[in-house]
Amino acid sequence: MIPIHPNNLNEIVEEFYQAVKSFAISKRYYNTLNDWLATKGHCFEQVVKAKPSELNTLKVKIKNEGVPVEFKKIYSQFSNSSKGLRFANADGKIIVYSGIDLIEHLGITVCPYCNRTYVQSITNQNQYHKKRRTCEFDHFYPQSEYPFLAISFYNLIPSCKTCNHIKGKNPILFSPYEMNGESLVEFKYNIEGIDYLTDPKQLAIEIDWKNNKFYESNGKVFGLDDLYKNHNDIAQEILLKRHIYNDTRIDELWEEYKDLFSSKEEIIQMVTGNYINEEDLGKRPLAKLTRDIAREVKFIK
């Protein structure tokens, strides 16, 4: 799983909240929702901005009885790329904010659950955004069970359709918003035959689960063991490249092409064919796998 931690996350949360609130006011939903939450000891802003740990408390504390349908109505509008949350700002200008805006502002390009599938939007002619989402939003706590969390920012996880459907209502313990530099898994390879450099079937991908709770929840729900064992060709390719691009060859490339590269790390990134820095792992599919194998074969010191 890849963390969602853009540097301006607080600004993104605030922008999301203001769009949701403005739309709710324009549709005369706001008072209904805020008043209902007040009877539970909470307010609209608190629920929309609730951090992951606070969401867990809210789902236990607030009973799923008599929940206003407006929560789901707002989410339905937000998730519809051709509609979005449409409202007038203080200057009277019409603003439209939808899931496309949130994903682009978060800088999400690959599903954070599996790190295998792109989730970027594509061009599509419609009235507002001229784009269409290719990903979905997983409700970390299912909206069918917790409809009052349907528009809570940290309950919305951009994900590929496969991961969203596999997860469904299955509970998991770890949210991409909660990860903070912790390595929950590490990918390794195991040589199972002498011809592994020419035959990827003689290599196996192994996952070193650093956190057993992560394995028992996220790992099993998403079937990460089964998914990643099919990528042994990636490991084989990296080992083959390492056989060709030893340290001496990397140094030679660095000396010869300093006008093209700013560091040896950029050369290694080119050779491995993927991002290798921690902060970039969410930019391209299988970057985490690539980085871990590259580190194991000493591409990365």
Whether residues 160 and 291 fall in one domain: no
Whether residues 18 and 162 fall in one domain: yes
What does the pLDDT look like over 189-246, one tens digit per residue? Answer: 999 999 999 999 999 999 999 999 999 999 999 999 999 999 999 999 999 999 999 9
How would residue 183 be classed by pLDDT, with cut points 50, 70 and 90?
confident
Is 62 inside a domain boundary?
A: yes
Give me the number of domains the chain comprises.
2
Q: Is residue 144 scored above 80 in pLDDT? A: yes
Whether residues 141 and 217 fall in one domain: no
* Beta-ladder partners of 209: 185
With DSSP H G I counted as helix, E B as strand and the rest as coil, what are the percentages for the chain, rounded to 5? 45, 10, 40
Whether residues 162 and 242 fall in one domain: no
- Higher-pLDDT residue of 181, 18: 18
Q: Dump strand ranges (E) for 8-124.
A: 85-88, 94-97, 122-123
Task: Name every residue whose Cβ is closer than 8 Å to that of residue 13 and which is 6 or more positions away in sequence.
Answer: 49, 153
Tell me if residue 240 falls in helix, strand or coil: helix
What does the pLDDT look like over 77-131, one tens digit per residue? Answer: 999 877 889 988 878 888 889 998 999 899 889 999 999 998 876 656 555 556 6
- Final residue of a structural domain among 167, 202, 217: 167
Is 177 inside a domain boundary?
A: no
How would residue 267 be classed by pLDDT, with cut points 50, 70 and 90?
very high
Angle at 54 between CA 51 and CA 57, to 5 degrees: 160
User: In which domain, by residue range, is 193 found?
Assistant: 185-296
Is 1 inside a domain boundary?
A: no
Whether residues 123 and 59 fall in one domain: yes
Whether residues 214 and 95 fall in one domain: no
Whether residues 82 and 36 fall in one domain: yes
Percent of the chain with pLDDT over 90: 76
- Higher-pLDDT residue of 276, 121: 276
Whether residues 192 and 235 fall in one domain: yes
Whether residues 161 and 194 fall in one domain: no
For the chain, what is the largest distance between any 2 Cα atoms, rounded to a whole number of angstroms? 70
